[in-house]
Structure 1
Amino acid sequence: MNTSLNLLGVALVVASVLLIGTYGLKISRTTSDFLVASRSVRPIWNASAISGEYLSAGTFLGLSGLVLLEGARGFWFPIGYAAGYLLVLVFIAAPLRRSGSYTIPDFLQARLNSLPVRRVTSVAVLVIGFLYIVPQLQGAGIALTVVAGAPEWVGGVVVTTVVTFAVASGGMRAMTFVQGFQYWLKLMAVLVPAVFIGVALAGRADPFTLSEVFPADAGPAGFDAYESISLMIALLLGTMGLPHVLVRFYTSPSGGSARRTTVIVIVMVSAFYACSSVLALFSRVLAPDLARPGLADTVALVLPSRVFDGVTGQLLTALVVAGAFAAFMATTAGLVVALAGVVSRDLLKGTVGSYRFSALLCGLVPLAFSLVSAPAGLVSSVGVVFIVAASTLAPVLILGVWWRGLTAGGAIASMVGGGVSSVTALLLGAYLSEVGSPSPLLSQPAAWTIPLATILAVLVSRAWKRTDQGSPNQFFLRLHTPERRSVPPSAG
């Protein structure tokens, strides 16, 4: 590897974020600019930004690593990641925008007229967000260690410093430009190497076959039916519980615009996953020696040098490194934006100054956790977040949008029950995996924790009489009635 070229790729990504963040000082002045980009982001650019922040370290590096370790079973993840937006499109994209809220706690408080619901939702959002940021920072550390020999803590510190500055400077409006640009960079960073490597392998005298890529006896024992179903449920519903994804729909000019944005996102993330999956397939043939925990997540970074010598391999590697850092920064930035909005509005004064302080806080806390915890597989870490998000927030959001009978007590019982049960199952499963083989009910609990959370919401809502929770009919009319006013010109 050419360390200088790799670091140049990282430096260019960092410089782009810093420059756009500095530009954000000029264009972001109001609280609405910082929280929701003044609700003026059009579908194409908003979809680019959503795709940019959604395609995280677990996707960019972790997918190839997982397929290398697990074979064809690893493709459940990109299928679930992309299909999750179909549920977002059908169930919540437009209603969330029409609610007029700034954050998820805003929405549920408006829906149920309950401050305790807001507080519980805020805690859930912060926990999910911090859990998601940690693997991004650890992935950055892995990447810099592989390509430049830097200590593992350096990558996380660099990402946190740059992202915190950019978010505090320009908020949601500036991050929209950053993340939109970074989606296209990440797409090129997997598309170009995939094409080059594919052409090189097509010219081999002994082209590989599918049985060579996925030999029948390769890898550990496969998922059983329960694990596969539970994993897919978590991935599909988990997207609806990710705070950095949902907050983006508040930036759309209208509910119809939010729907169009979601359709474009499905196309964009599917295109990326198609290219990333091709690299994952190549990794099975070109780097079987890296099929070990701790090394598998590095395979996308070293793949070009396994095929090309000299400048070609070095340039392709530098492009992949730049794309990886774009993934770390875009996802971390989206999460910090979403979390800073919650902390600023719920714990502080909700001003621009409090937002900037919240951004700093929401960057430093996950960094501290990333430095004191050992990195696990990137896809596995992100998968845990989807399970918790699907069990905690997805049921109350769907019921809040579509069921008039939901009450504050039911929402709190659902979020607490789903969150505690999923986290407890995952922690117990992780402990048992150290001493033996944990039950699938613990390692993949979404198939029972999500129904549990939903049942709790319904039963408690039925038993807990509605008290001063506003008019559900009036709120539902607002959520489900398309806008008739003309849409103002885009500022983004």
Structure 2
Amino acid sequence: MNHVIDTATMTVPFLCVIILYCLILTGLGWYGSQKNKGLSDYFTMSGKAGAILTGIAYFSTQYSMSTFMGVPGSIYHVGYAGMSVSVPGIAFSMLIPALLVGRRLITLGHRYNMLTMADYLADRYESTGVRGLLAVLMLIFLVSMMGAQTIGGGVIFTTYTGAPEWVGIVVMGVTVMLYCMAGGIRSIMLTDLIQGILMVVTAVVTFFVSLKLGGGLEVINEKLAAMDTNYVSFPGHNNSYPWQGYVSMIVMWSFFAIGQPHLFTKFFTMKDHKTMFKAVILGTLGMWFSASFIEWCGVTGIISFPGLEGKQSDFVVPLILQGGLSPILSSLMIAGIFSAGMSTISSLLLTATSAASRDLYQKILKRNATDEETLRLSKVITVCLGIIAIGIGIYKPGSIFQIVLFAYGGLGIWAAPILLGMYWRRTTTAAVYVGVISAEILYVLMVVKFTSWSFGFNPLIVAWAFAMVVMIVVSLLTKPASEATIRRHFDDLDRRADAA
């Protein structure tokens, strides 16, 4: 059965909603620019952000275009087993990092004015080289992830207006570029607040619309079971999720959020530990609601819109919205999907900017550069990186999910030096170089050619485990950090925690 979006009835409402939406976001960017007083404000709001802003900003950043299109599309071919994989992994992607590294990062950020993930790693391992290595990898992987998000914007724009994909890619990219350049993290968090709320509303509304189209949940489940009992049981239709894949996806999206610089730095923006606790509750609830409801639509859509094949299944959510809502309301909900891409792009763009302007320029290439000079350069770099991301989106080197998955894995390996550096005093600088570089090479080899080396797991899990083993061995054979650094990162923090 062929299902298509009715472009004729959707173009005008869609354009009106998207234009108004982009203007509001640009206005928030201007507002944020009036509040910034320096580099620390630009990148972390000087560590003064409250629970609502940080909680919603975290989950808005984590949830991308793939969450609202690619994931429901993949679940459409699997059934409930797909939800059992995706929902736990995504919903706990803030809770686990907060428990493992959040408290220490807030303390370190406030005490030593740390603004980036590289600030932490360079200080812990007493190495400018580690800063440079991370900054270069961040630029490669983060800009690739940005490009992937713009692809989704282009596809939606084409689907609803008939215009070329590059038009939507440029609209999304330029809007994000403008408000990021203007106000930095403050503008991003303010826009994330709107985008996060819109994402939750879109997820809930789409789910209940899908129930109405399918005749109710009981009827939908009965029809699914009649088609194939594996749609309502594990491991899913066509045995889609063997246990290795099940474990991999949950661990990837929850635990490895620790190694993602754009999520890592959110802890530097938080006011204090109480703020983090409230933000985690709010962010986790937001992620759980959004993930559960929007991904459930991939299951209910099997009945409402049967016969979607290949990439057509990525449009199951837009099809549900158009089939059950008026053009105006449907367009407003589609703006929620647009939000998922824009909120992720904005944080990726600012984090990549910090890698170039602070980590490479101010801390390595020109160490006497002032914060004011670095801030001016940051705005120029934001534009340059935004243009590159737009170019990647237009060129489209791969699917949204493929690009995001690859880049996420490349950065996830950094969870090894973060965790060992935070919990094992003996971890050394040499271990970071050897462990990370060798693991990155192994990861790329497994993705590109030697897939059997991963034993059925996602290559990131195997590469990270390899990095941990190598780092432990090398650390035992090489010189640890100085006593002053160990005291700063362990003894002083532990005494502060005991006093609290």
Say whether the fold is shared (TM-score over 0.5): yes
Query: Which letter maps to 2:436?
Result: M
Which residue of 292, 295, 316 corresponds with 1:277?
A: 295
Any idea what the Cα deviations from partners look like across 1:46-75, whole Å, max 9, x if unmatched?
A: 101111121111111122111113333432
Deviation of 1:285 (Å): 1.2
1:90–1:467: structure 2 CA closer, same or farther, 3 Å change rule?
closer
Q: In structure 2, the residue corresponding to 1:288 is in which secondary structure?
A: coil
Indicate the residue corresponding to 2:487 in structure 1: 473
Which residue of 101, 108, 122 corresponds with 1:99?
A: 108
Indicate the residue corresponding to 2:436 in structure 1: 415
Pairs within 5 Å for 1:158-197:
158-197=171-210
Query: Which letter maps to 2:378?
Result: Y
CA contact (8 A) 1:229 1:447 kept: no
Indicate the residue corresponding to 1:126 in structure 2: 139
Pairs within 5 Å for 1:202-221:
202=215, 208-209=221-222, 210-212=224-226, 215-216=229-230, 219-221=237-239
1:323–1:221: structure 2 CA closer, same or farther, 3 Å change rule?
same
Work out whether 1:364 is the aligned partner of 2:377.
no
1:325–1:214: structure 2 CA closer, same or farther, 3 Å change rule?
farther
Which residue of 451, 458, 462 corresponds with 2:465?
A: 451
The separation in 1 between residues aligned to 2:330 and 2:72, in whole angstroms, is 15
Which residue of 334, 349, 356 corresponds with 1:343?
A: 356
* Structure 1 range deviating more: 30-39 or 80-89: 80-89
Which residue of 329, 333, 336 corresponds with 1:320?
A: 333
Deviation of 1:186 (Å): 1.1
The separation in 1 between residues aligned to 2:497 and 2:276, in whole angstroms, is 12
CA contact (8 A) 1:256 1:482 kept: no
Query: Which letter maps to 1:366?
Result: A
Indicate the residue corresponding to 1:489 in structure 2: none
Work out whether 1:27 is the aligned partner of 2:35.
yes
Any idea what the Cα deviations from partners look like across 1:341-385, whole Å, max 9, x if unmatched?
A: 121112334521011012112212222222223442x44443333
Deviation of 1:246 (Å): 1.1
1:43–1:485: structure 2 CA closer, same or farther, 3 Å change rule?
farther
The separation in 2 between residues aligned to 1:475 and 1:372, in whole angstroms, is 44
1:99–1:281: structure 2 CA closer, same or farther, 3 Å change rule?
same
Indicate the residue corresponding to 2:79 in structure 1: 71
Deviation of 1:476 (Å): 1.3
* Structure 1 range deviating more: 328-337 or 144-153: 144-153
* Structure 1 range deviating more: 450-459 or 378-387: 378-387
Indicate the residue corresponding to 1:86 in structure 2: 95
Query: Which letter maps to 1:182?
Result: Q
Any idea what the Cα deviations from partners look like across 1:185-226, whole Å, max 9, x if unmatched?
A: 111112123223324544699655241576438854423222
Deviation of 1:483 (Å): 7.1
1:444–1:471: structure 2 CA closer, same or farther, 3 Å change rule?
closer
Indicate the residue corresponding to 2:366 in structure 1: none
Query: Which letter maps to 2:209?
Result: F
Deviation of 1:79 (Å): 1.8
Q: In structure 1, the residue corresponding to 2:145 is in which secondary structure?
A: helix
The count of corresponding residues between Structure 1 and Structure 2 is 472
Query: Which letter maps to 1:401?
Result: M
RMSD over aligned Cα atoms: 2.6
Q: In structure 1, the residue corresponding to 2:436 is in which secondary structure?
A: helix
1:148–1:215: structure 2 CA closer, same or farther, 3 Å change rule?
farther
1:167–1:338: structure 2 CA closer, same or farther, 3 Å change rule?
same
Query: Which letter maps to 1:216?
Result: N
Work out whether 1:331 is the aligned partner of 2:344.
yes
CA contact (8 A) 2:209 2:320 kept: no
Query: Which letter maps to 2:391?
Result: A
Indicate the residue corresponding to 2:286 in structure 1: 268
Indicate the residue corresponding to 2:316 in structure 1: 299
CA contact (8 A) 2:91 2:287 kept: yes
The separation in 1 between residues aligned to 2:21 and 2:271, in whole angstroms, is 29
Any idea what the Cα deviations from partners look like across 1:254-277, whole Å, max 9, x if unmatched?
A: 244234322321121111112212
* Structure 1 range deviating more: 359-368 or 167-176: 359-368
Structure 2's unaligned 5+ residue stretches are 1-5, 363-370
Q: In structure 1, the residue corresponding to 2:249 is in which secondary structure?
A: helix
CA contact (8 A) 1:124 1:393 kept: no
Indicate the residue corresponding to 1:41 in structure 2: 49
Q: In structure 2, the residue corresponding to 1:92 is in which secondary structure?
A: helix
Query: Which letter maps to 1:372?
Result: Y
TM norm structure 1:
0.89
* Structure 1 range deviating more: 115-124 or 449-458: 115-124
CA contact (8 A) 1:422 1:449 kept: yes
1:336–1:444: structure 2 CA closer, same or farther, 3 Å change rule?
same
Indicate the residue corresponding to 1:388 in structure 2: 410
Q: What is the identity percentage for the equivalent residue pairs of Structure 1 and Structure 2?
A: 20
Any idea what the Cα deviations from partners look like across 1:272-311, whole Å, max 9, x if unmatched?
A: 112212322221111222231x2221221112233x3xxx
Indicate the residue corresponding to 2:418 in structure 1: 397
The separation in 2 between residues aligned to 1:9 and 1:215, in whole angstroms, is 41
Work out whether 1:51 is the aligned partner of 2:29.
no
CA contact (8 A) 2:353 2:385 kept: yes
1:449–1:7: structure 2 CA closer, same or farther, 3 Å change rule?
same
1:316–1:283: structure 2 CA closer, same or farther, 3 Å change rule?
farther
Structure 1's unaligned 5+ residue stretches are 433-437, 487-492
The separation in 1 between residues aligned to 2:228 and 2:258, in whole angstroms, is 33
CA contact (8 A) 1:405 1:462 kept: yes
CA contact (8 A) 2:126 2:481 kept: no
The separation in 2 between residues aligned to 1:106 and 1:152, in whole angstroms, is 38
TM norm structure 2:
0.87
Which residue of 70, 77, 81 corresponds with 1:62?
A: 70
Query: Which letter maps to 1:410?
Result: A
1:398–1:439: structure 2 CA closer, same or farther, 3 Å change rule?
closer
Deviation of 1:24 (Å): 2.0
Query: Which letter maps to 2:50?
Result: R
* Structure 1 range deviating more: 148-157 or 380-389: 380-389
1:460–1:82: structure 2 CA closer, same or farther, 3 Å change rule?
same
The separation in 1 between residues aligned to 2:182 and 2:258, in whole angstroms, is 28
